[in-house]
Structure 1
Amino acid sequence: MEDYGLGLFGGDPWWVVLIKTLLVFVVLVLLTLFNIWWERRVVARMQHRIGPNVHGPFGLLQSLADGVKLALKEDIIPKAADKAVYLIAPVVATVPAFVTFSVIPFGPEVNFFGVQTPLQLTDMPVAVLFVMAIASIGIYGIVLGGWSSGSTYSLLGGLRSSAQMISYEVSMGLALVSVFMYAGSMSTSEIVAAQDDLWFGLVLLPSFVIYVISMVGETNRAPFDLPEAEGELVGGFHTEYSSLKFALFFLAEYINMATVSALATTLFLGGWAAPFWIDEVWAGANEGYWPVLWFFGKVLFFIYIFIWLRGTLPRLRYDQFMAFGWKVLIPVALAWTVAVAAMRLIRPELELDRQGLLFIAAGLALVFVLLMLIPESKADRDEESTVAGPREGGYPVPPMPAGGPVRGSAQPLVFETDAEESHE
């Protein structure tokens, strides 16, 4: 993969670029339909249910039937909504989800209808930053959708999304810095080529773990789906949406899952390259269109992680979720970035080979994992569990079941009227 880099891009005929763009769009739509079906089947198996099995073989056409059902539903616009923003918001959320895949490499250079071209739409020296910037624009669609609906629940869901994106994108960006240092580039094609000998997911295991956690928070998926928590916000930012506009939000969520999974595959699992044991016994594993199979196999592995987490873990409280991002993920990611920079600096002086580097990386990874598992201090838990008691002259405060001075007390509610104040 030494010859695979930025020099391969920019010379394709216009019709090749058009066909590539169309293929990316079609693949993402079909992948979304498959992921919805797969999620239902896997969660059903976890819960000892059957799942979709009627429409088409193994129920594969169930997602298509749901899409048609959404399109035929009544389209309602709330009276209090800002109509222009309300209609534009789903589009703003969906379009960036498609655009981010323009720099994802699906495979090496191939013969494409008589033209030698890489299986990637385009690339640039800052391709990874481009993906993160475009993905951040999609959050505006969620925020604007919640704000323009004219509903309190929708507004709170949109605000939660913006706070969540800011919090977890910081840790995600810090996790990627070590990849840039090892690859010496921010180009997706060159990062894949830099993993020819060893995947960065093995050398930079803490970065890999931090990225995987951050990508779940970034995509608003369980157990981090606070912007659409039905127990608190009815449905979150899309409560007032129906028909195709709701379908666009749904489509954007699943394409964003595929985007962060494809980025994780590209940056940490060697991209489209075959696993090491296959590459060693089969010389043609990384040639032709076979790498597309390895790429989507790795992407579906990360999609399975999303589904597994949804079927396993309960939703966090919002304060727990934000505290985990700011107090655990970001400090650990920052410390690991400094450690990687130090390792890159001292490695030439110590003349470390690959095995020695792996031992050091494994030791540091163990230390950082232990740091992430350290429980909260007793003072922090006491501070969280303390509930303020009734305040004289204030609003009535009922006894709470949580810890603190109110537990087990039978203090009466305080109602203070103007007559009582004048009598005093």
Structure 2
Amino acid sequence: PYGPGLSPLGLDSGILYYFAVGTAAEIAIFMAGWAGGSKFPLLGAMRAIAQMMGYELPLVLSATAAAMVSGSLVPTAIVEAQAGYVLGILPNWYLFTPWGAVAFLVFFIAALAESNRSPFDLPEGESEIVAGHLTEYSGFKYALFFMAEYVGMLAICGIATALFLGGWNAPAPWLAWIPSWCWFFAKLYALVLLMIWVRGTVPRIRIDQLLGFTWKFLLPLAFAALIAAAVWHHAGRGPAAWILSLLLVGIPYLLLGGAFHRRFPRRTYRFAD
């Protein structure tokens, strides 16, 4: 939905429909790798399935937190629940809440993995498995995969905009005169540019690092954000809700981040004699 009354199709469970269709894209990647007839496409296809098993659950749980607080699975209703301003200045977006900030972080990282963006472009892995599931394809068939990848990137950025960034709502009350669709597409393309920037700056990680990161860091953090969202929904937007939700997401973040950071060995250097 990119504006009031500007939703092309209103489904009662629009968020669930998106995740169902988005998961089906991995089947196409697996079939493309299996039909390649060589080892590199098959390895890329297996990487895609393993990657999906890692990021899909944190992605869904972080979206569930926003849907639970708004009380609806309809994207339009979720955006309408974020209308208004706190103290007349701060937008009432879920991003500006303790649980919403953590849920958005988890959602965005998982979205990078779903759209096969670096550092999670493991199914392609040019330096390891040539081009992964795309090794045996060329021409328009090769282009179709990348076109679908960028369409999926636009779609998931649109979902993130509706869930956490207020959708078509303006960031300040004195900017409400600007058309609503301008704000929606501005936020959407800002997230797309952020994904492109991450792709150009962060190197690719290994498949074992990805699975360890998703299962041991993202998934517990998504559960913590979900519990904090439940407390926020029950207690309201008072100081008690802020303190409780901040503790519920802050303590797990510090503990998980410290434990996960200690698992990485320090960088070693070798100097020529």
TM-score by length of 2: 0.88
Q: Which amino acid aligns with 1:344?
A: H
CA apart distance, 1:304: 1.5
1:284 aligns with 2:177: yes
CA apart distance, 1:170: 0.5
Question: Which one of the candidate residues 111, 118, 127 is aligned to 1:215?
Answer: 111
The equivalent residue for 1:245 is 141
Query: Secondary structure in 2 aligned to 1:226?
Result: coil
CA apart distance, 1:180: 1.4
C-alpha distance in 1 between matches for 2:167 and 2:93: 9
CA apart distance, 1:381: 6.2
The total of aligned residue pairs comes to 258
Question: Which one of the candidate residues 208, 218, 226 is aligned to 1:337?
Answer: 226
Q: Is the 8 A contact 1:206 1:368 kept in 2?
A: no
Distance change >3 Å, CA 124–CA 376, structure 1 → 2:
closer
Which runs of 5 or more residues in structure 1 are unaligned? Answer: 1-104, 109-117, 383-401, 403-424
The equivalent residue for 2:195 is 306
The equivalent residue for 2:251 is 367
C-alpha distance in 1 between matches for 2:261 and 2:190: 36
Query: Secondary structure in 2 aligned to 1:146?
Result: helix
C-alpha distance in 1 between matches for 2:117 and 2:176: 39
Q: Is the 8 A contact 1:221 1:306 kept in 2?
A: yes
The equivalent residue for 2:93 is 199
C-alpha distance in 1 between matches for 2:175 and 2:264: 55
TM-score by length of 1: 0.58
Distance change >3 Å, CA 339–CA 247, structure 1 → 2:
same
C-alpha distance in 2 between matches for 1:213 and 1:364: 20
The equivalent residue for 1:107 is 3
The equivalent residue for 2:87 is none
CA apart distance, 1:341: 2.0
Q: Is the 8 A contact 2:221 2:249 kept in 1?
A: no
Distance change >3 Å, CA 301–CA 181, structure 1 → 2:
same
When the two chains are superposed, the root-mean-square deviation of aligned CA atoms in Å is 2.1
C-alpha distance in 2 between matches for 1:311 and 1:370: 28
Q: Which amino acid aligns with 1:316?
A: I
Q: Is the 8 A contact 1:167 1:326 kept in 2?
A: yes
The equivalent residue for 1:48 is none
1:271 aligns with 2:167: yes
Cα deviations by residue, 1:181-203 (Å, 9 ceiling, x for unpaired): 11000001101110013101112
Q: Percent identity?
A: 37
Structure number, greater radius of gyration: 1
CA apart distance, 1:338: 2.4
Structure number with greater CO (CA < 8 Å, separation at least 6) is: 2
Question: Which one of the candidate residues 131, 142, 147 is aligned to 2:34?
Answer: 147
1:170 aligns with 2:66: no
C-alpha distance in 2 between matches for 1:365 and 1:335: 6
C-alpha distance in 2 between matches for 1:376 and 1:253: 30
C-alpha distance in 1 between matches for 2:27 and 2:254: 36
Q: Is the 8 A contact 2:224 2:248 kept in 1?
A: no
The equivalent residue for 1:387 is none
Q: Is the 8 A contact 2:64 2:226 kept in 1?
A: yes
Cα deviations by residue, 1:224-254 (Å, 9 ceiling, x for unpaired): 1111001111001111111111111010111
CA apart distance, 1:312: 1.2
The equivalent residue for 1:233 is 129
Distance change >3 Å, CA 377–CA 281, structure 1 → 2:
closer
The equivalent residue for 1:179 is 66
Distance change >3 Å, CA 368–CA 202, structure 1 → 2:
farther
The equivalent residue for 1:323 is 212
The equivalent residue for 2:271 is none
Q: Which amino acid aligns with 1:124?
A: L
C-alpha distance in 2 between matches for 1:223 and 1:377: 17
